[in-house]
Amino acid sequence: MRRLYTLLLYLLAPLVLLRLAWRGLRAPGYWRRWPERFGSIRPAIGARVVWLHAVSVGEVQAAAPLVRALLQKPEVSLLVTTATPTGSARVAELFGEEVEQLYAPYDLPGAVARFLDRIQPQLAIVMETELWPNLFNGCRKRDIPLLLVNGRLSARSTAGYRRVPRLVAKTLAAVTAIAAQSPRDARRFASLGADPGRITVTGNLKYEQELSPGLTDQAREQRRLWGETRPVWIAGSTHEGEDELVLDAFRQVRRRLPDCLLVLVPRHPERFADVAALCRRRGYRTVLRSEGIPCTGDTGIFVGDTMGELMLFYAAADVAFVGGSLVHRGGHNLLEPAAAGIPLVTGPHVANFQDICELLERVGACRRVENVSGLAAAVSHWLLHADERRQAGRRGSQAVERNRGALDSVLAMVERYL
């Protein structure tokens, strides 16, 4: 089955390169460092290499506490790979030259062999849901312990993997141990063929994120630039087709709160200019973060067109909507606004964060809505009821604090294989 999979990958390789070139028209980062994606990299980066793969920004954020802990071990060399330019940029922002970083190889046998032969990792750590048959098999053949950390599987992903049961079961057989986010994730991995004896429920590393030193002061200054007395809500990590829905909701919110400011932060940097243009076409005076100017009373929308500042914007706002949830994207990290102490709203599509969403709903820190009118109503309610809003934000931050502990469990697992 893996041979058929590999043949299909080779046949699709020209289309993959065309897709990279096409995406590079809007995000030039996709035009760079192509050899890395085929395993053409410099030789090993040092002795006792620990390799951690985090596909993009969300996985990098989740892995950050683990990376910081591993950096405290001077006896190992740490390599972080990603698959996207935004993920690579986030690694650079968080860790600079403290870690080596590359793009992960495509799951082609030759690319995988070149990568593993030159890096020679002592331990491989893959974040969340990445299952790559040839890469995992390459680790097994070389006796490289492979850990699947912060493992999660949505119902949709599980159903997709069940279409190729033999391939997935053999891929999971190459995994040394799985650190699952929840019992539900553990059951799904086992249902796909993973050895239950190799699965441990460790909790979610996303709960381990720490607010950066000085964030409160930075948020206070950012709020001054927005307007200290006006209500502010933020729509973070929005996708194509979702910005229009957010703007529809904003129009409704402004009927009750005419001086409200919307902070709109698209998920992908190649869409920054398009989103700003959309806001202006809707008739709103729009300020971009990159312009470095304060909002005036007639500014309607502030577009966050920079990378790595979403937590700052959450901390400076009153209410958050977390994107990828009004469209079929599975949602994004609900814990960021919760950790920042503000209540949040999400759409119905939260498969990637189902357990977290249910927890935050139970404590009253999150409201799940079905449509534009529901979004407008939830945002308006919290903006109009300051005491209730502050209590909801406090309950969310307390929930984040209570659910820490995954890092210690994951580190214990890592230590066993170091």
One CATH from 3.40.109.10, 3.40.50.800, 3.40.50.2000, 2.60.40.420 for 215-402 = 3.40.50.2000
Give pLDDT, residue 44: 62
Give pLDDT, residue 204: 94
Residue 15 has pLDDT above 70, yes or no: yes
Residue 62 has pLDDT above 90, yes or no: yes
Q: The dihedral of CA 214, 216, 219, 223: what is its sign?
A: negative
Residue 43 has pLDDT above 90, yes or no: no
- Per-residue pLDDT, averaged over 119-144, amounts to 95
One CATH from 3.40.640.10, 3.60.110.10, 3.40.50.11720, 3.40.50.620 for 34-204+404-417 = 3.40.50.11720
Residue 31 has pLDDT above 90, yes or no: no
| Least confident range of 151-155, 187-191, 244-248 | 151-155
Q: Which two tokens stand for residue 22?
A: 């096409």
Residue 45 has pLDDT above 80, yes or no: no
Residue 255 has pLDDT above 90, yes or no: yes
Q: Establish whether 309 is a catalytic residue.
A: no
Residue 84 has pLDDT above 80, yes or no: yes
pTM reported for the whole predicted model? 0.90
pLDDT band at 327 (very low <50, low <70, confident <90, very high): very high
pLDDT tens digits for range 190-241? 999 999 999 999 999 999 988 888 999 999 999 999 999 999 999 999 999 9
pLDDT tens digits for range 385-408? 999 999 999 999 999 999 999 999
* pLDDT over 90 percentage in the chain: 84
- Per-residue pLDDT, averaged over 286-308, amounts to 94
Find the catalytic residue in 36, 59, 100, 208.
59
> What is the number of residues in the chain?
418
* pLDDT over 70 percentage in the chain: 100
In whole angstroms, what is the distance from residue 364 CA to residue 297 CA?
32
What three-state secondary structure class fits 232?
strand
- Per-residue pLDDT, averaged over 289-306, amounts to 94
In the chain, what are the domain boundaries? 34-204+404-417, 215-402
pLDDT band at 185 (very low <50, low <70, confident <90, very high): very high
Give pLDDT, residue 211: 85
In this structure, how many other beta carbons lie within 10 angstroms of the beta carbon of residue 25? 10
In whole angstroms, what is the distance from residue 226 CA to residue 393 CA?
20
Residue 244 has pLDDT above 70, yes or no: yes
Give pLDDT, residue 54: 97
DSSP character for 26?
A: T
- Per-residue pLDDT, averaged over 326-332, amounts to 94
pLDDT tens digits for range 152-182? 998 889 999 999 999 999 999 999 999 999 9
Q: What integer best gives the mean pLDDT of the chain?
A: 94
Domain 34-204+404-417 and domain 215-402, same fold? Reply is: yes
Question: What DSSP assignment string belongs to 257-325?
Answer: -TT-EEEEEESSGGGHHHHHHHHHHTT-EEEEGGGT----TTEEEEE--SSS-HHHHHHHSSEEEESST
Give pLDDT, residue 384: 97
